[in-house]
Amino acid sequence: MVANKAVLVDQFVQVSDAHISAVVLPDRTKLKPICESALDFVVAFMRGVPLDTLKDAFNAFVASQSAERIDLMKFAAIISAWKAVLVRFMESEVREAEERATILKFSIDLTERIMLWLSDAYTDRVGRTIERRSRETEALQSLYEDLLYNANDLIFSADEEGRVVFINMKGVDLLGRPADQILGKDIGELLPGEYKEFMSTQIKKNIKGSRTPPFEVEVPTKDGGQVWLEVNLSPSSPEEGPRRVWGIARDLTSRKKIEKGIITYSKELEETVEKSTKTMRMKDTYLSSVLNLSNDAIITIDLDMVITSWNRGAEGIFGYRVEDAIGKSYKMLIPPDLGIEFEEILNEVLKRGYIRNYETERLTASGNKVMVSTTLNIIEDANGEVMGFVGVIKDVTERKKMEQELRLSKAELQKANDELKRHNIQLEKDNIRLRDLLTIMPVKEKECVPTMAVPSDMKPGHVYLIKSDDPDAGLRHFANAVKRGAHGLCITRSPPERVRERYGLQKTPMLWLTSNRKEGEHCISPSGIGELSSSIIAFIDKAKDGIVVLTGIEYLISQNTFRPILNFIQLLNDKIMVSDSRFVFTIDPLALEERDLHMLLREAKEFISDGGAATDTARRYEHLVDRFEYVTERDITSDHKDG
C-alpha cells in the first residue's frame, strides 16, 4: 500500500483536476501537496493510528491551509474526488477480495470521518470569523462614531418630525449651546424665521427619499452672533431603521467674511479705478466738454473742407448728429447761391487769419435756411502751417425776427400812442361831461298852480313803478311835482327839448338816454349804467324834496339785459330809502317776463294813478294847459327882451 503511494497520488491529482475543474486555487501547484497530505491521513489511518491523533493533526492541517487562504469547501471537494479515485483504483488492482473489501471499507469510513472533521473545522472557522468580524465591526463602529463626533464639520441627524436626534461636538461649539439644549428640539427653532419653513420642506423631501441640493443658511448663536453654514442633507437607508435625515453643515463664516472683504476691496478698487478713469477722461474730454456747453456751433474743418469736429451747439442749429456730420463736407451747409460768397470768405480768412461776425445764410438738415453770424479763424500746426479752420456760428434767426418784430412794434406803438392821445382827448371830454353830470344842481321851476293834484301817496324815500303802456305816464306826475316846488331830475329816452316843450319844464335838468352826442345836452349812453347811477346819486345828495323820473327803462334792458338793470334799481333803492327824494319809472308789463316784473316789484312800490275816461280827459286838458302856460311864458319873456 505504501509502495503504491506515488501511483495513488499521481492518479489522484489527475482525476481531481478533471473532477473539480470548478475549484479555483490561488496556485494550482499546491494541489499535489494537498493531495499528498490527504493520502497521508488515509495511510496513517490504515496503519492503526488513533483517530483523535489523526483529528488533531487534521485540525492543525486545516489551520495551516487557512493561513494559506485555502477554501475549506474546496478542500472537501478534493477529498470527495479522492474517494472516487480510490474506489476506481481498488477496482483496477488485482487484489484479494478480502483485502479490497477492507481497503474499500476503511476508505469510505475515512472519507466520512474526514468530511465530518471538515464540517467541524469549517464551523469552528466560521465562528472564529464571525467573532473576529464582530470585533472588527464594533471597532469600526466606535471609530465611525468618534469620527462623526469629532469631525471638523457640523454633523446632525433629524427624525421625521424634524427633531434633532444627534449633533456632534462641532455643532455644539458653533451654536454655542450644550447638547441637551439642542437634542430633541425642532431644528426650526435653531434657525431664523425666514429659514424655518424652508428647512422643514427640505427635511420632508429627504425623509421621502429625495435628495436636495446644498443650500446656505445664516444661524444665530447663543451669544448673539451669526454663523453661515452650507448644509448637505441625505436620507438614511431603510436598513438603518427609522427614517432619518443626516446633515453635514460646513462653517462658511470665515469664507463669507473673506468674500465680504474681497467684495469691499473690489468695490474700493473699482471706485479707485473709476475715479482714475474719470480723471483721465476729464483731462481728455475737457476741451470737448467746454465746446459742448456752448449753444453756438463750434466746428473744425480741414483744408479739404471736411468736418473734423462737431459740437452739440452745431447739432442743435443744423440738425445733423455728430456721426452724421464728421467726415462730411462743410459745403453741405452752404446754399447753392452762396457758393461764390463762401470762397471769397475763405480767401479773406487765409489773408487776414480770421473774419468776425459775418452774417449770412446756411442750410439745415431739413433743407431750411437759417440766418447765422459766423466767425472763422485759421488753425496752425507747430510750424505755423495752416492745417484747417475753426468756426463759431451763432443762430441769429430769432434775433432777426425780433428786430423785425421790434420795427413792427415801434410802428404799432406809435399807432397806439396816437390812439392813446385821441383817447385821452375824448376821455378829457368825457370827464368834463361827467363832472357836468355830477354837478347838476337841483333847481325849481316857476311856482304855479298845478293842473291836477299831486298824489298824496307818492311819498319821499321810495321807488315807484307805474305799469302803463304810455311811456310818459310818470312824466305827468313828475311835472306836477316840480311845478309845485320839488327839485326834479328827468331821465328821458325822448329828446329833452320835446319834453321841455310838452311839459313846460325849462329849468329842470334832464339826462338824455342816447348813443349820440349833442351840444348843450347831458347825454348818457345806454351802456353807461354806472355813469347814470353816479349822476342820480349825486343829484339826490343835493336835492330837497326831490323827485327823479326815468322813461325808457325797456331801452336800458334791451341794451344791457335785465340783471344789470335790476342791480341798478336795487342800488337806487338803497340810496332813496335814506333820502327825502323819490324815484319814479314807468314800464310796460307786456315788455317783461312775469318773473322779471315781480323782481322789480320787490324793489319798487307799484303806483296806481286814476284811470278811465276821466284820466284821458284830464291828460288832454293838462296837456293843453301846459302848452298854454308855456306859450304865454315864452311870449312874456319875449316882450321883456323887446322892452
pLDDT digits (tens, 9 = 90+) for 164-204: 878 887 777 777 778 787 788 777 677 766 677 777 777 77
Rg (Cα) of the chain, in Å, rounded? 70
C-alpha distances out from residue 563 to 138, 527, 533, 597, 602, Å: 117, 13, 15, 12, 14
Q: Give the number of other Cβ atoms within 10 Å of residue 233's Cβ.
A: 23
Sheet of strand 307-310, all strands in order from the earlier edge strand to the far edge: 307-310, 297-302, 386-395, 369-380, 354-363
Most confidently modeled of 146-155, 345-354, 404-413, 612-621?
Answer: 345-354
When mean pLDDT is compared across 115-119, 266-270, 472-476, the lowest value belongs to: 115-119
pLDDT at 529: 92
Query: CATH fold of 5-144, please?
Result: Globin-like (1.10.490)
Q: Please, what CATH class does the domain formed by 294-395 belong to?
A: alpha beta
> What HEC string does 450-476 produce?
CCCCCCCCCCCCCEEEEECCCCCHHHH
- CATH class of the 440-642 domain in this structure: alpha beta
476-to-55, 358, 512, 590, 619 alpha-carbon distances in Å:
176, 85, 18, 21, 8
CATH fold for domain 152-251:
Beta-Lactamase (3.30.450)
Residue 3 phi/psi, 5° resolution?
-65, -25
Q: If DSSP states are collapsed to H, E and C, what string results for 618-630?
A: HHHHHHHHHHHHH
Instruction: Note the pLDDT of residue 402.
Output: 86
Of 456-465, 504-513, 514-523, 631-640, least confident by mean pLDDT is 631-640
- For CATH 3.40.50.300, the residue range(s) in the chain are 440-642
Alpha helices by DSSP H, 294-396: 312-318, 322-325, 339-352
The pTM (predicted TM-score) of the whole model is: 0.35
pLDDT in tens, 581-594: 999 999 999 999 99
Whether the predicted pLDDT of 26 surpasses 50: no
pLDDT digits (tens, 9 = 90+) for 333-353: 999 998 899 898 989 999 998
**Strand ranges in 221-333 using DSSP code E only, listed in sequence order:** 226-235, 245-251, 297-302, 307-310
Which DSSP symbol is given to 520?
T
Residue 573 scores a pLDDT above 70: yes
Confidence of residue 24 (pLDDT cuts 50, 70, 90): very low
Q: Residues 500-540: pLDDT tens digits?
A: 999 988 889 999 999 888 888 889 999 989 899 999 999 99
Alpha helix stretches (DSSP H) within 331-472: 339-352, 397-438
3-state secondary structure of 439: coil
Reported as a single tens digit per residue, the pLDDT across 479-494 is 988 888 889 999 999 9
Grade residue 101 by pLDDT with cuts at 50, 70 and 90: low
Please, which pLDDT band fits residue 400 given cuts at 50, 70 and 90? Answer: confident
What's the confidence (pLDDT) of residue 548? Answer: 95
Q: How confident is the model at residue 19 (pLDDT cuts 50, 70, 90)?
A: very low
Q: Mean of the per-residue pLDDT values for the chain? A: 75
Q: What is the location of CATH 3.30.450.20 in the chain?
A: 152-251, 294-395
pLDDT bin (cut points 50, 70, 90) of residue 268 is confident
Contact 217, 197 (CB under 8 A): no
Domain with CATH 1.10.490.130 in the chain: 5-144
487 exposure class (CB count in 10 Å sphere: 0-12, 13-18, 19+): buried
Q: Are 553 and 572 in contact (CB under 8 A)?
A: no
